Structure 1
Amino acid sequence: MDTTTNSIFDKFVIGANYWPRNYGVDMWKQWDKDEIKKEFKEAKSLGLDVLRINLLWEDFQPHPDMISEDAIKKFDELIGICHDVDIKIVPTFFVGHMSGENFDIPWRNGKNIYNDPFMLRHEVKLVRFFAERYKDESAILFWDLSNEPDNYVKAESNHDAWLWNYVLSSEIKKHDKNHPVTLGIHQASLLSDNKFYPEDLKEGNDFLCMHAYPIYTDTCIDPVNSIRSTYIAPFASKLTKALGGKDVLFEEFGATTLMMSEEIEGKYYKTVLYSLFANESLGALAWCFGDFTVGNNLPYNTTPFETHFGITSSDGEPKLAGLEIKAFSEFINKLEYKELIPKECDAAIIVPDKYYSALFVGDDYTPERNFRILLNSFILAKQAGIDVEMVKASEKDFSKYKMLILPSAYRKGHLNHDQWMRIMDYVKSGGTLYASYDGISVDGFDELFGIETQYSIVPKGDSVSIYLEERGLKLKYDTLKFNKRLIAKPTTCSVIGYDNEGNPAVVMNKFGKGNAVLVTYPVELYLSYMPDVYKDDKTYEIYKFTEDLSRIKPKIEVESPFIEVKEFEYKGKKLVIFINHEDIDIKIDANISGKIKDLISNKEINLDNFTIKADDVVAFLM
């Protein structure tokens, strides 16, 4: 695939996180070479390329000046297993957190692992040992510095997190020129100010990683196999790339069959795997390989739902999730990965300039708030048939895009004045802008949207309706206590929709050579708090209206808002993927016709008359 890290991986990486079923995190203390080899063979049979291996810190460095010879002997045996089975591993250092519990090294004595010189000195010793010893080892795919380290020890500042990541990455690279380095961060780096910022990590890491689960965030309040849940992983991948400026491997995703049926988990896996591929992630690693039999042991005793995250059951049989990974691997292996060129995105969602915090803003301005608006804007764009990427507000040149999306724009922290001026110039030069209001107040705002601002006010009722008569739409939202809407008079704009009080709610204005559309309510933020809303909501029609103004003309369009479409150039043809993100069957109404062969099921399909089943995928060459 033509990506910025094209030289790192030769294919879309497919793998799983690994602990032995019958030992869990006691893998290194209760070493069972035969069982591990058996399970590695099972992983290989499911089409996995790689297994992520956690080096529990207390096992590998029991004292600051001691690297355990016993643990290294076991690691060497693990390398031998990799060669025997033909599978690679991702060794992960400094594992002090695992599955809801912390396993502290006894000699830390409360010292901060990120900025304490004593700790850094001995951490460098550990990574140097591995880098020197295994620099030529082909069984290692890449090094991972840690597993969600902020869950283990809190960084006092983002500078400490940067320092730690940069020092350890640089030490590895000084001795090992063959293996890339990354850090296993998780959705807390997008939902909170945990000090591990993707933009800081990019300086030390060759690519970025992300872990995200819909079951672990209140920003997803829907069934796991419905549209908001199945888009969280690809969205988080694209947001991490925008914040960090490097490509992203999705190092953890998954679900537990103690919270849902095996069938629903399997459907979730299928949709997410193909959507991560369609949204240009570098790969996907399931959490985790097997269900565990050691529920009485930590961390499983206190986090009991962790025992059934496996893609295989405790008796070694593949669960539906494992079979979906196998089928996905077979699909990927049919393609010459280096020949795939994804269609470039014509539209971009603008990421707030001050994503994590800003001075003198309300308590409601948080990373979670920004995650909410961006996630739901991403979903609305996908529903409208718009293939989007994320772009920082500090981007100097928006000219490559036909459409910019500025969702639920806040009064401060979202955009600086100079960034707003670039957006105005973009529209004046022929671009199209969609924006929704959440307090934004900036010079030229009224001129751009053809309005005269009167005042802003929190909606009076618990809900608000917006009517777009020409499109036959009535949109209804649950309002929020502190988020204001805009009262404005039209000047040069056309009013596209009114609210239930008769105020302009959606306006469109010609500005220079371009167009600007404004919604006077923070609709993306509203939607983020409304459970299972996307089955019936039609807000995407406003995005679709804006897309029509932008003259974005996808070659392949599907009427249903639940179908994600992705195109790749491939060896003189087009690879097209249809992904159903909802838990309902969808009758396909597309602007193409004829018979095609589905590369996934190997069945012939008549595009003039076919239905994609709930959470299913179709891929074909044109």
Structure 2
Amino acid sequence: MSVRFGVNYTPAQGWFFHWLDFDLDAVRRDLDSIAGLGLDHIRVFPLWPVFQPNRTLVRAKAIDDLLAVVDAAGERGLDVAVDGLQGHLSSFDFRPSWTVSWHRRNLFTDPDVVAGEAFYLRTLATALAGRPNFLGMTLGNEVNQFSDKPHPDPDPLSVAEAGDWLTRLLAACEQGAPGKFHTHCAYDAVWLQDGHPFTPAHAARIGAATNVHSWVFNGTAQRYGGDSAATAHYAEYQVELAAAWGEPGHPVWLQEVGAPAPHIPAERAGEFAAQTVANALTCPDLWGITWWCSHDVSRELADFPELEYGLGLFTNDNQRKPAGQAVAEAIAAAKPVAASRKTALVLDVGEEHTAPGRATCGPGGEFFEAWLELAVRGARPAVVLASRARDTQHLTTRGISEVVHVPDGWSSKHA
């Protein structure tokens, strides 16, 4: 399986507010720049309140604009993945008016809201199904952040309810566009936060791929340093962590990864991009890498976190940045994916479906540091769940010949 390379499309003019004042010529200019990097796909983000302002209304004009983006991408050899419930983007929440204030209802458990979400996703998927360059739907961007702390006004639900919600909405996407690459995604609380209702089992066992969003501002760069081995290997680590929860060969999509300043200084963004891509390419189950993001956020737009303004591979006037050049060079130099990882570190987070002890996987956690220790030694460690650590067939299928437990992974200074 060859690895796909793409970028999360953030329009140079107006950010995602461009849907309010759609300019296809501006989109085409952006896509010309993106295609020039040698990429093969983009991920696009309809703003949910713009596309579905009422629970029973999906705007035909908004869908036409989305199809125009998909067609323009296809003209440039780019496939397109489409997110649905936007949802949460760059610290801003975009919830339609029929879910807030006087109509405040739980996004995950209210029957009318969930029916409205299914209607919306099915409508988008149906419209997109006939486009040959349409990859599939992602339910929404990091919608799990609505479900739990630290969100200031969360919509709580149980682990079982989270699984039911994901299954129902992915079924709606499949009804609209059968056989496409339909997935869901989450920010890293799914892997690292004890008690979070969306779990690693949900991430890896529901949907066509396991999606990973790898951000070193989650404490990795702060704890270990922006130029540390932990930072350089973090995306690779998350891909391997995700692979442990799925079946062998189940694709893992590194759907978001970027170089956030000041954690990654601007002068090191290119080096970080090159290291991150090279390390991720050693993961056997990697489906693709989709960088965040295509274009910087304009300084004319207020109230974004500072790090969001400079994440693009291009400036707002479509000038390629060092990170963009590094990604282009990494794609050109991409080598075949490693066939297997012979050494695997055993992960035990308690009961698998709820993963009550998953905080050990985060920066500073015992499991994370043991994995990092092995990586620094050059072991390229895989991750295997404790329930599978003695499953000979599973280990053989993954090419694992050595199983290491966390205490064994420490150097003498940690013993």
What do residues 393-443 of structure 1 show as CA deviations (whole Å, max 9, x unaligned)? 1115146444222115xxxxxxxxxxxxxxxxxxxxxxxxx366xxxxxxx
| 2:121 partner letter | V
* Aligned-residue offset at 1:180: 1.1
The answer on whether the counterparts of 1:291 and 1:311 sit within 8 Å (CA) in structure 2 is: yes
Query: 2:292 aligns to what?
Result: 287
Query: 1:445 aligns to what?
Result: none
**CA pair 195-295 structure 1, distance change in 2 beyond 3 A:** farther
The answer on whether the counterparts of 2:315 and 2:321 sit within 8 Å (CA) in structure 1 is: yes
**CA pair 223-341 structure 1, distance change in 2 beyond 3 A:** closer
Q: Does 1:253 align with 2:254?
A: no
What do residues 294-329 of structure 1 show as CA deviations (whole Å, max 9, x unaligned)? 5434xxx14232111111122321111100111122
Aligned partner of 1:55 among 25, 46, 59: 46
* Aligned-residue offset at 1:151: 2.0
Q: Does 1:85 align with 2:97?
A: no
The answer on whether the counterparts of 1:256 and 1:310 sit within 8 Å (CA) in structure 2 is: no
* Aligned-residue offset at 1:228: 0.6
Q: Please give the secondary structure, in 2, of the residue aligned with 1:234.
A: helix
* Whole-angstrom distance in 2 between the partners of 1:57 and 1:13: 27
Query: 2:370 aligns to what?
Result: 377
* Aligned-residue offset at 1:223: 2.7
User: How large is the Cα RMSD of the aligned pairs?
Assistant: 2.4
Q: Does 1:103 align with 2:97?
A: no
Query: 1:137 aligns to what?
Result: 131
The answer on whether the counterparts of 1:242 and 1:390 sit within 8 Å (CA) in structure 2 is: yes
Q: Please give the secondary structure, in 2, of the residue aligned with 1:181.
A: coil
Higher Rg: 1
* Whole-angstrom distance in 1 between the partners of 2:272 and 2:235: 11
Aligned partner of 2:140 among 124, 142, 146: 146
Query: 2:313 aligns to what?
Result: 311
Q: Note the 1:185-584 alignment, pairs <5 A.
A: 185-192=186-193, 193-217=195-219, 221-245=223-247, 246-257=250-261, 259-280=263-284, 281-297=286-302, 301-332=303-334, 340=336, 342-354=338-350, 366-371=357-362, 372-395=365-388, 396-398=390-392, 400=396, 401-408=400-407, 434=408, 475=413, 519=415
Q: Please give the secondary structure, in 1, of the residue aligned with 2:340.
A: coil
* Whole-angstrom distance in 1 between the partners of 2:354 and 2:318: 50
| 1:349 partner letter | L
Aligned partner of 1:128 among 103, 122, 128: 122
What do residues 492-548 of structure 1 show as CA deviations (whole Å, max 9, x unaligned)? xxxxxxxxxxxxxxxxxxxxxxxxxxx4xxxxxxxxxxxxxxxxxxxxxxxxxxxxx
Q: Please give the secondary structure, in 2, of the residue aligned with 1:79.
A: helix
* Aligned-residue offset at 1:341: 6.6
**CA pair 56-318 structure 1, distance change in 2 beyond 3 A:** same
TM-score, L = length of structure 2: 0.88
**CA pair 222-370 structure 1, distance change in 2 beyond 3 A:** closer
The answer on whether the counterparts of 2:125 and 2:137 sit within 8 Å (CA) in structure 1 is: no
Q: Does 1:117 align with 2:122?
A: no
What do residues 208-240 of structure 1 show as CA deviations (whole Å, max 9, x unaligned)? 101011122258513323201011111011111
Higher relative contact order (CA 8 A, sep 6+): 2
Q: Please give the secondary structure, in 2, of the residue aligned with 1:35.
A: helix
* Whole-angstrom distance in 1 between the partners of 2:328 and 2:221: 30
The answer on whether the counterparts of 2:281 and 2:338 sit within 8 Å (CA) in structure 1 is: no
| 1:38 partner letter | R
Q: Which moved more, 1:150-159 or 1:186-195?
A: 150-159
Count of residues in Structure 1 that have an aligned counterpart in Structure 2: 393
Query: 2:150 aligns to what?
Result: none
**CA pair 129-356 structure 1, distance change in 2 beyond 3 A:** same
What do residues 354-410 of structure 1 show as CA deviations (whole Å, max 9, x unaligned)? 178999xxxxx84223432222222221232323211111115146444222115xx
| 2:405 partner letter | L
**CA pair 370-342 structure 1, distance change in 2 beyond 3 A:** closer
TM-score, L = length of structure 1: 0.60
| 2:347 partner letter | V
* Whole-angstrom distance in 2 between the partners of 1:257 and 1:342: 31
* Whole-angstrom distance in 2 between the partners of 1:370 and 1:16: 27
The answer on whether the counterparts of 1:357 and 1:366 sit within 8 Å (CA) in structure 2 is: no
* Aligned-residue offset at 1:114: 1.4
Q: Which moved more, 1:61-70 or 1:84-93?
A: 84-93
* Aligned-residue offset at 1:67: 0.3
| 2:234 partner letter | I
* Aligned-residue offset at 1:152: 3.1
In structure 1, stretches of 5+ residues that fail to align are 2-10, 360-364, 409-433, 437-465, 469-474, 478-518, 520-622
